[in-house]
Amino acid sequence: QVQLVESGGGLVQAGDSLTLSCAASERTFTSYFWGWFRRFPGKEREYIGSIMWSGGNTHYSDSMKGRFTISKDNARNTVYLQTSSLAPEDAAVYYCAARLVITPSRALSDYNYWGLGTRVTVSS
């Protein structure tokens, strides 16, 4: 069973930066698109962006550009989400997902595997 495991969440101060990680249990993911999403209480998951493992092409939601950066580490089979200037309204559960097609997508249903999420709390 393939697993995605997010880590790096926690409590931070407003204005801080944070890097979240997503590690895959199998190397078969290395050919596909990895996405990052976040979910606010009572809301559906919101697309942040995604990265193509082969080549590293990235795609972002327009509202997320400039504050979030997605990168990868081939040797560690891990994808990262770097956040900057966090605000209380960024507090959410952050999820990574894997899409078994080599094109980006913001649709939840287009992703085949999901992690359990990592919670980010931002104090003002």
Range of 26-30, 75-79, 118-122 with top mean pLDDT: 118-122
Per-residue pLDDT tens digits for 12-48: 999 999 999 999 887 666 668 999 999 999 999 999 9
Q: What is the mean pLDDT of residues 76-104?
A: 93
Tally of CA atoms within 13 A in the half-sphere of 47 that contains its CB: 19
User: Which residues fall within 8 angstroms of residue 105, CB to CB, at 6 or more apart?
Assistant: 33, 35, 50, 99, 111
Percent of the chain surpassing pLDDT 90: 73
The 10s digit of each residue's pLDDT in 55-72 is: 889 999 998 888 899 999
What does the mean pLDDT of the chain come to? 92
**For position 81, what pLDDT does the model report?**
98
DSSP state of 101: S
d(CA 25, CA 78): 10
